[in-house]
Homo-oligomer: A and B are copies of this chain.
Amino acid sequence: MPDTPPLGLRDRKRIETRLRIETAAVEIVTAEGLDGATVDMISERADISPRTFFNYFESKEDAILGTQDMGEVQRAIAAGVASAETDDLVAAIVSTMFHIFGPMAARTQLKTQRMALVQEHPRLLSRQIHQFTQLNSTMAAAVVEFLTKRESTLPRDPEHVAEIAVATCVASVRIAVKEWIAAGATADIDSMYLRAMGLTRETLNTLT
């Protein structure tokens, strides 16, 4: 972790502008819908020229989703899963996800609105899923490590089983988050975690 170097005025302005664009994008899309919001509108509210918009983001969708620094997150998740205290794989995966993403989801107006938009617009969801694709394989690798350490009998194809296991848990978390948003994003994070766990268990029950 390199400590923050002192930012000059230039960099501070750049960060602030970026945030202004993200905020404007989320607000306008919330109000006007995904197709109703134009880059011109967003730029105007963010107080920049339309051309500058594309200096900050490659596409309208990217601005709405904001920027994810996935490298950091990936390392954290891998470490979290592999070093989980429990022997329960589901708990290891789900709790790690909440430990990593929970703090990021600290309720700012921006993040909450953004999550709602992702639920609402499939186009955004698929783009986000795509961003998360790399993350899934990282998680799968961590799960393999988890299994190698704890399970006396490994499944025949640890890697593939791990991928499916991750898919299952991620789906549960996604649903729990969706419910959380639908309920107004008021409940605390812990209850969302418990909900995701419960859903997974019920599903496993139903499938076996």
Q: Chain A interface (Cβ within 8 Å of chain B)?
A: 89-90, 122-123, 125-127, 129-130, 133-134, 147, 151, 155-157, 160-161, 163-165, 167-168, 170-172, 175, 179, 199-200, 202-208
Q: Which B residues are in CB contact (< 8 Å) with A163?
A: 171, 175
The reply to whether A164 and B156 form a contact with Cβ atoms under 8 Å apart is no
Q: Which B residues are in CB contact (< 8 Å) with A160?
A: 175, 179, 199
Using A147-B206, A156-B202, A205-B155 as known contacts, say yes or no to A171 and B167 having CB atoms under 8 A apart.
Answer: yes
The reply to whether A204 and B206 form a contact with Cβ atoms under 8 Å apart is no
A163 to B179, CA, bound (A): 13
A167 to chain B, nearest CB (A): 4
A126 to B62, CA, bound (A): 13
- Name the residue of chain B whose CB is nearest to the CB of A198: B156
The reply to whether B126 and A199 form a contact with Cβ atoms under 8 Å apart is no
The reply to whether A89 and B130 form a contact with Cβ atoms under 8 Å apart is no
A199 to B163, CA, bound (A): 10
Copies in the complex: 2
Q: Which B residues are in CB contact (< 8 Å) with A168?
A: 164, 167-168, 171, 203, 207
- Residue pairs across A and B with Cβ atoms less than 8 A apart, 5 shown, are A160-B179, A164-B203, A165-B206, A200-B207, A204-B207
Question: What 6 pairs across the A-B complex have the smallest Cβ distances?
Answer: A167-B171, A126-B130, A164-B203, A126-B129, A168-B168, A155-B202
- Name the residue of chain B whose CB is nearest to the CB of A136: B171
A133 to B127, CA, bound (A): 12
Q: Which B residues are in CB contact (< 8 Å) with A126?
A: 126-127, 129-130, 133
A41 to chain B, nearest CB (A): 23
The reply to whether A204 and B208 form a contact with Cβ atoms under 8 Å apart is yes
Q: Which B residues are in CB contact (< 8 Å) with A207?
A: 89-90, 165, 168, 200, 204
The reply to whether A204 and B205 form a contact with Cβ atoms under 8 Å apart is no
- Name the residue of chain B whose CB is nearest to the CB of A133: B122
- Name the residue of chain B whose CB is nearest to the CB of A169: B207
- Name the residue of chain B whose CB is nearest to the CB of A171: B167
